[in-house]
Amino acid sequence: MTGVKEMAIAASAGIENLAPADVAAELGRPGVLLVDVREPAETAHGVIPGAVLVPRGMLEFHADRTITSHLDGFDPGRRVILYCAAGGRSALAARSLQELGYRDVAHLHGGLAAWLRDGRPVVAPARCSGPDRTSIMSPVQLLVAAVRASIENLTPAKLATELDDPFVLLVDVREPTRPSTAASPTRCSSRAGCSSSTPTMELTTSKG
C-alpha cells in the first residue's frame, strides 16, 4: 500500500519545486498568488508576507471556478505558489491544482521550515487574508453548495407543475415545531391513503 509520504514524493516529481530564494524573488512579480495551505492553528504563529490562507482541506473548493464556493483570485491561468509546514501537503495540493487545470503552479520545497532556515521573515496573519475573504464559506456552507450542485433544483413554478403528476411525492423535511403561515398540514405517514383523518404514529427519542 502506498503511504502519504510516497504520495508526496511522487507529487513533487511532477510539479515545480522552489527554494526559499526563488519564492522570495517570485513575490516581487505582479499577479503571483502565494497560498498557505496550513491549518489555522499553524498559521496563527506566523505566515510568509503576502500569503493567502486557505487550509488544505478547502483548497479545491475555493480553486474550482465551476462551483459557488470558488474564491476570487484563484484562476487557472495565474501563477500560484503553495506552501505548508514541510512541503508534503503543498506538493499534494499543487498536483491537485494541476488536475483542476491550473497551468502555472509551484510549491515551496521544504515548506515554511526551509523558509525559516534560510533566515526569511514571517508576519502575523492578517485578520482578513485573501483576494476576497468575504466569499469564503464555512464547512456547512460548502457542503450545502456541493449538494446543490449535484441535484436537480426546482423553481416554484416547476414544482407546481410536478405536483400534477400522481407519482410525485412531495416531502416537507422541516421540524414540526417550526411555525407556519401556510394551511394546516395534512398528517400522514405515507403517500398512500394520506388524508387529514389518517392517524399518524409519532416517534420520540430519548437521550441517555
Helix 4-13 × helix 88-99 angle, to 10° = 60
pLDDT at 126: 75
Which comes out higher in pLDDT, residue 10 or 192? Answer: 10
Which comes out higher in pLDDT, residue 12 or 98? Answer: 98
99-102 long-range contacts (CB < 8 A, ≥24 apart) are 100/60, 100/63, 100/64, 100/76, 101/76, 102/63, 102/76, 102/78
| pLDDT band of 207, cuts 50, 70, 90 | very low
Mean pLDDT of 116-137: 67
C-alpha cell recorded at residue 173: 423535511
DSSP category for residue 128:
S
**Of residues 84, 128, 188, 194, which has the active-site annotation?**
84
Kindly state which CATH superfamily the domain 4-149 is placed in: Rhodanese-like domain (3.40.250.10)
187, 196 Cβ separation under 8 angstroms: yes
pLDDT tens, position by position, 134-191: 334 444 554 555 566 667 888 898 889 989 999 989 998 887 775 555 566 665 554 4
pLDDT at 197: 42
pLDDT at 26 over 80: yes
The residue ranges of every structural domain in the chain are: 4-149
DSSP category for residue 138:
P
Question: Is-catalytic flag, 84?
Answer: yes
Please name the residue ranges forming H helices in the chain. Answer: 4-13, 20-26, 40-43, 59-63, 88-99, 111-117, 139-150, 156-162
Rounded-to-integer distance, Cα 61 and Cα 137, Å: 9
CA 82 to chain centre: 16
C-alpha cell recorded at residue 178: 417550526
pLDDT at 132 over 60: no
Strand pairing category for 33-36 and 16-18: unpaired
pLDDT tens, position by position, 27-78: 989 999 999 999 999 999 999 999 999 999 999 999 998 998 999 899 999 9
pTM of the model: 0.61
